[in-house]
Structure 1
Amino acid sequence: MPLRINLRRLIVLVAFASAIIALANTFYATYRVQRQLLIDTTLEANQAYAHKLAGSTEDFLQSNRQQLAYSAGLLARRFGDASALTAEAERLRGQTNSFNSVLIVNARGIVLAVSPETLALQNSQLASSGALQALRERRPLITQPYMSTAGNLVIFISHPIFDASGNYLGYVGGSIYLKQKNILSSLLGQHYYRDGSYLYVVEQRRRLLYHPDPGRLGATAGANVVIDAIVRGESGSGSTVNTLGVDMLAGYAVLPSTGWGIVAQRPTTATLAPLKQLMLNTFWHTLPIALFSLPLIWWLARLISRPLVQLAEGASRMDAPGMAERIGRIGVWYLEAAQIKRALLVGMSLLQKKIGKLKSDVQTDPLTGLANRRGMAAALEAWQAQARAFSVIAIDIDHFKQVNDRCGHAVGDAVIRRLAHLMRACSRDADVLCRNGGDEFIMLLPDASLDIALQVAERLRARVAEAEIPGAGFVTVSLGVVSSSEQDSDSDSASILLGADAALYVAKERGRNCVGVRDALVRHG
C-alpha cells in the first residue's frame, strides 16, 4: 500500500520549505545589494576625492608657474646683477617653500645663482635632462622625473627669461625632490588612512611621483588597469589589484597640465568589513518573526485541512438524514486562506516600511523635518571618519522666549518652522540642517571654507530679518560660525561644535542679529 501523508502535514511541510527558501533568498539578495552598495559608494567617494586632490595639485602647479613667470619678468631687467640674481633665488625658495632648490641659468646652461648654496652648482654648466630640455624648448615647462646633477630624483618647473627685445637670456626654475620632504608630499601625505587606504601619484611613463612608501618613489609601476587608464588620459573609478596582490577600490583623476594621475584607493576587504555585522543584525532581527511564524503555519494548516475532513466525513455518509444541510454549512476556507497569505505578505512589506520610517524618525525633528541630534551626530561621525573638512553655523532665535510668552507656543512653532524653511533656502543639497533643541539650530556645511560659511550665515541672517511671520512679526537670529580647517588638527567634532557655540556667544554679546566668529564679530544687522 503506497505511503500517504495527510493534508495538514503536507501543508506544513510545503509552508516550511517555502518560508526557508524565501528567507534564504532574502538573505542572499540583501547580501548582494548591500555589498554592491558599499562598493559603489566607496568607488564614488574615492573618485570624488581624487578629483578634489587633482584640482588642489593643479592649482599648486599653476601657482608655481605664476611665481616663476613673475620672477622671470623681474630678472630680465637685472640679469647682469649677480647679487640681485642670488637674492631672487633665495626669495623664491624661502617665500613659499614650494621648491627644494631654485636655479637661475643663462642661455649656455651655466648656473648664475642657486639656492641653497650648499648645492655647490654656482658657475657650473648643467647637463641634466631637465636643464637641457628647458634650454632647448625655451617655454614654461614641467619636466618628467629625472636624476639631477646633484643625484636627486626631481621634477623641474622652469620659466624662460627674455629681455625687452625678445632675446633669450636663460631660465629660472625650481626643483621638487621626490625622495625628500617636499610640498607635494605635504599636500598629499595628510590623506593617508589607517584602514589600508592610501593615495599615490603616477606620471605618463608609469613612474611614481608620490607614494606613502618612500621606497617606491621613482619606481615604475607594472600592469594595472587604473594606471593604464591614466596613461590614456582617463579619469574614473574601478577595481584593481595592487603590487601586494590586495584587491583595491580606486578612484583616479588626471591633471590637465601634466597628465599625472592621482589615485585614491581603499582595500575591498575594508569596504566590506561592515557587511558581516549587517547580515548578523538582519538575521537576529528576522529570527523572532520566523519563530513566531512556525505555530502560525501549524494553525493555518489545521484550519485549511478541517473543511476537507468535514467534507470527507460528509461524503462517506451521504445517505444520512440532513447531510446536505450539514455540508452546506461547512465553511470552505481556500480563498480566505489565500487572502490571509497575501495579507501576511503585505503586512511584512508594511513592517519593513515601518522599520525604515522609524529609523528615519529617530534622526528627524518632527516639527521642522530637519535632522535632530542623532542625525547631526551621524553626519559628523561619517565626516570625521573621512577626514572631511566642514564648517558649522550655530543659530539661535533672538528673544524666542518672549515670542512664546507674548504670542503663544503655536506662533513660536510657526517661527521655528519658518526658520527651518529659510535654512533650506540658503543651503545646498549636501548640507546637513539640524534642530539642536528648542530654538537652537545647526548648519553643517561639508567642504565649505570659513569664508563661504560666513557668506551663508550672513545671507540667512538677512533673510530671517526681512521675513515677516504672521502673529509674531519680525524676528532676528544670532549666528556663530567656525570651520574645522581653522581648528587644531586633533580637534574632534565635539570641540568644533563648542567653538561654534563660542562664536554664537560672541554674536549675542555684541547685540544679537549678527554673525560671530569666536572673539570677532563679522557683521551686524
Structure 2
Amino acid sequence: MWTKPVLRMNLRRLIVLVAFASALISLVNTFYASYKVQRQLLINTTLESNHAYASKLASTAEDFLQSARQQLAYSADRLPGHMADGDMLADEAQRLRLQTNSFNSVLIVNAQGKVLGVSPETLGLKNRQLDSPGARHALQERRPLISEPYVSTAGNLVVFISHPIIDKGGRYLGYVGGSIYLKQKSILFSMLGHHYYRDGSYLYVVDQSRRLLYHPDPERLGDQVGANTMIDAIIARGEAGSARMVNSVGVDMLAGYAVMPSTGWGIVAQRPTAMTLAPLNQLMVDTVWHSLPIALLSLPFIWWLARLISRPLGQLAESASRMDRHGTAEHIGAIRAWYLEASQIKKALLLGLSLLQRKIGKLKFDVQTDPLTGLSNRRGMAAALEAWQAQARPFSVVAIDIDHFKQVNDQRGHAVGDEVILRLAQLMRACSRDADVLCRNGGDEFLMLLPDASLDAAVRVAERLRARVAEADIPGAGAVTVSLGVVASAQEAVDAAAILHAADEALYEAKKKGRNCVGVANAHEHLLIDNA
C-alpha cells in the first residue's frame, strides 16, 4: 500500500533554522523597541527646537517693533516747534526712513489728517488728506499705536506704526508714523525670511484676524487661515508652545509657536514629521545591513558542524532569543564555545549587539549634547541632577551668563558670538574637574554642576572662571565678561528646580550689581552677593 511520504527536517537543518530564526526575531524586537524610543525622542526634540526658534523670532520681531516705536517717539519730541517748517518736516521724514531702514515710508500728519511731510516723496501724498484705516485710527486714538494690517490705497498689505505729536502745553498737533509693507521688501520681511527652509520646514505669521502676514509663498500673504487649533490657542489665549498637527495640505507637521506681546501676532515654525524621522530610519537600515553579513557568514559553519555543536549552539540560540534583555552580552560571553564555529557565532552575536548598542549610545549622546560647544544640554543636566538627588549626593551650581551678549551678536556678528560661546566653554573645562557636569542651558546661559563641592569651593571656581574670561583675548569680540550665580545644595533632599532657581536669582543679583561679578546664594536662605 502506497503511503504519502512525510517531509521531515533533519536535526542539522533544524538547528540552523532555529538559531537563525531566534537571532532574527530578537534583533527585530530590539530594533523595533529602539526605534520606538528614539522616534519619540526625535519628535520631542524637534517640537522643543521649533518652539524655541519661534520664541526667538517673536522676541526679535518684538524688539524691532519697539525700536521702531522709539524712533518715532524721538522724532515726535523734536517736531512740536516745527510743524510749519515744510523743509524741516521733509528732512525729518527722510531721516526716519533712511537712517535705519525700519520703515518703507514715513508720514508727518497734522491734527486734521493733512500730510505735512512724506518720504519717499514719490508717493505723492504731501498736502493730501489721508483716509486709510491706519491714519484714521491714529487720529482717533491720539496715542502710540501699531495698527492692524490693512490694504493701502496703493494695494500694499501695510502695518502702520504711529506716535502722537504733543506740544509743551499738552495740545495735540498730529502724529508721525511709519509704514511697513508686508508684501514687499522690508526689514521685518527680511528678518523673518532668514529662516532656512530645509527638509520641508517653513515659517509663517498670523495676526489676530487669522490673516497671514508672512508665508514662504508670497501668493498666500493676506489670506485668512481656516480652522486650526494651534492658531485658536494663539488668538484666543495668547499661548505659546508646540504641537503635532496636520497642515492645510494634509502633511503631518511638528510645530512650535510663540506670540508677540505688543501685536498679538503668532509666529509658527514647523517641520514635516517624515523629514524629522528620516535620519533615524536610515540609521536603522544601516545597522541592519552591517549586522546581516556577519549573521549570514556564520551559517555555513553551523550547517557542517551542527551534530557536534548542538549543545553550545542551543545555548547561543537561547541567548539570541533574549537579545533585547539586560545582561545578554554577559550571558553570551559565559558560554563555553570549545570549537571554532561556535566561537565565530558567539563573536558575531556579540559584535552585532555591540554595534547596536554603540548606535543607540551615539543617538543618546547626541540628544543630551549641545552641538556647538560639546557641553551637556538640558537633558544631560536633568539626568545628572536626577542621579545625584537619588543618591542624596551634595552638589553646587554655578549659573553663568555672558554680559551684553546680544550687543556682541548685533554689533560683531553671530560668527563672533559663536567664538565667544566656544571660548567660554573652553574656559569652563579648564576651570573644572572631570566629575563636574558642564551645561549650555540655551543661548548665552551656562551651568556648572559641581558634585561634592562646598559653597566656598564653588565660589572659588566661579571667581576663577570670571577672572579667566575677563582676561581672555577673543579676536573680534572686544572685552567680554560674565556674571555668575552660585548656590549649594544641602545633605537633605532639596528640589533641583529650587536650587536652579536660587542660582538664577544669585545671577540676577550679580547683574543688578553691575555684572562681571559673582552672586552667592543658599538653597534654604536669603540671597547674598559676593562682589568680585
Structure 2 length normalisation: TM-score?
0.61
1:481 paired with 2:490, answer no
- Corresponding residue for residue 125 of structure 2: 121
Q: CA deviation at 1:303?
A: 7.6
- Corresponding residue for residue 429 of structure 1: 439
- Corresponding residue for residue 346 of structure 1: 330
- Corresponding residue for residue 270 of structure 1: 275
- Corresponding residue for residue 209 of structure 1: 213
1:64-83 matched pairs, under 5 angstroms? 64-83=68-87
Q: Identity across aligned pairs (percent)? A: 63
- Corresponding residue for residue 453 of structure 2: none
Tell me how far apart the structure 1 counterparts of residues 21 and 261 of structure 2 sit (CA, whole Å).
60
Q: CA deviation at 1:274?
A: 1.8
C-alpha deviations, 1:201-255, integer Å up to 9, x for none? Answer: 1111111111222222112122333323322312112223334433322211111
- Corresponding residue for residue 231 of structure 1: 235
- Corresponding residue for residue 61 of structure 1: 65
- Corresponding residue for residue 436 of structure 1: none
* Corresponding residue SS for 1:179: coil
Q: What RMSD in Å do the two structures reach over aligned CA positions?
A: 4.6
1:391 paired with 2:391, answer no
| 2:259 aligned to which of 238, 254, 258 | 254
Indicate conservation of the 8 Å contact 1:134/1:141, yes or no: yes
- Corresponding residue for residue 513 of structure 1: none
Indicate conservation of the 8 Å contact 1:388/1:447, yes or no: no
Tell me how far apart the structure 2 counterparts of residues 34 and 303 of structure 1 sit (CA, whole Å).
42
- Corresponding residue for residue 329 of structure 1: none
Tell me how far apart the structure 1 counterparts of residues 419 and 473 of structure 2 sit (CA, whole Å).
10
Q: CA deviation at 1:462?
A: 3.8
1:34 paired with 2:38, answer yes
Please identify the structure whose Cα radius of gyration is greater: 1
Q: CA deviation at 1:299?
A: 10
- Residues 139 and 303 of structure 1, relative CA distance in 2, 3 Å threshold: farther
Q: CA deviation at 1:350?
A: 8.2
The structure whose RCO (Cα within 8 Å, separation 6+) is larger is 2
C-alpha deviations, 1:298-356, integer Å up to 9, x for none? Answer: 8998689779xxxxxxxxxxxxxxxxxxxxxxxxx999998999875435798757876
- Residues 427 and 202 of structure 1, relative CA distance in 2, 3 Å threshold: farther
Could you tell which deviates more after superposition, 174-183 or 422-431?
Answer: 422-431
* Corresponding residue SS for 2:224: coil
Indicate conservation of the 8 Å contact 1:422/1:464, yes or no: no
| 1:218 aligned to which of 222, 226, 230 | 222
Equivalenced residue count is: 389
Tell me how far apart the structure 2 counterparts of residues 166 and 374 of structure 1 sit (CA, whole Å).
55
Tell me how far apart the structure 2 counterparts of residues 204 and 92 of structure 1 sit (CA, whole Å).
28
Tell me how far apart the structure 1 counterparts of residues 216 and 286 of structure 2 sit (CA, whole Å).
36
Partner amino acid for 2:430? A
Could you tell which deviates more after superposition, 105-114 or 291-300?
Answer: 291-300
Indicate conservation of the 8 Å contact 1:391/1:447, yes or no: no
Indicate conservation of the 8 Å contact 2:144/2:163, yes or no: yes
1:307-322 matched pairs, under 5 angstroms? none
Q: CA deviation at 1:260?
A: 0.6
Tell me how far apart the structure 1 counterparts of residues 372 and 200 of structure 2 sit (CA, whole Å).
31
Could you tell which deviates more after superposition, 3-12 or 173-182?
Answer: 3-12
Which consecutive residues of structure 2, in runs of 5 or more, have no partner in the other structure?
333-348, 376-412, 446-462, 478-532
1:15-414 matched pairs, under 5 angstroms? 15-232=19-236, 233-288=238-293, 290-291=295-296, 344-346=328-330, 390-392=417-419
Indicate conservation of the 8 Å contact 2:319/2:331, yes or no: no
Indicate conservation of the 8 Å contact 1:201/1:260, yes or no: yes
Tell me how far apart the structure 1 counterparts of residues 248 and 476 of structure 2 sit (CA, whole Å).
42
Tell me how far apart the structure 2 counterparts of residues 257 and 204 of structure 1 sit (CA, whole Å).
12
C-alpha deviations, 1:154-202, integer Å up to 9, x for none? Answer: 0000111222222222111100011111111111112232432222211
Partner amino acid for 2:280? L
Q: CA deviation at 1:93?
A: 0.9
- Corresponding residue for residue 469 of structure 1: none
Tell me how far apart the structure 2 counterparts of residues 221 and 372 of structure 1 sit (CA, whole Å).
36
Indicate conservation of the 8 Å contact 1:422/1:460, yes or no: no
Q: CA deviation at 1:105?
A: 1.3
Q: CA deviation at 1:153?
A: 1.6
Indicate conservation of the 8 Å contact 1:395/1:480, yes or no: no
Tell me how far apart the structure 2 counterparts of residues 65 and 246 of structure 1 sit (CA, whole Å).
39
Partner amino acid for 1:55? S
Indicate conservation of the 8 Å contact 1:161/1:172, yes or no: yes
Q: CA deviation at 1:256?
A: 0.9
- Corresponding residue for residue 486 of structure 1: none
Q: CA deviation at 1:357?
A: 6.7
Structure 1 length normalisation: TM-score?
0.62
C-alpha deviations, 1:11-54, integer Å up to 9, x for none? Answer: 76555443332222222223323332322222221111111111
Tell me how far apart the structure 2 counterparts of residues 336 and 195 of structure 1 sit (CA, whole Å).
44
Partner amino acid for 1:217? L
- Corresponding residue for residue 384 of structure 2: none
- Corresponding residue for residue 438 of structure 1: none
Which consecutive residues of structure 1, in runs of 5 or more, have no partner in the other structure?
308-332, 365-369, 377-386, 397-415, 432-445, 450-457, 466-476, 484-525
1:420 paired with 2:424, answer no
Tell me how far apart the structure 1 counterparts of residues 284 and 317 of structure 2 sit (CA, whole Å).
32
Tell me how far apart the structure 2 counterparts of residues 282 and 251 of structure 1 sit (CA, whole Å).
32
Q: CA deviation at 1:79?
A: 2.6
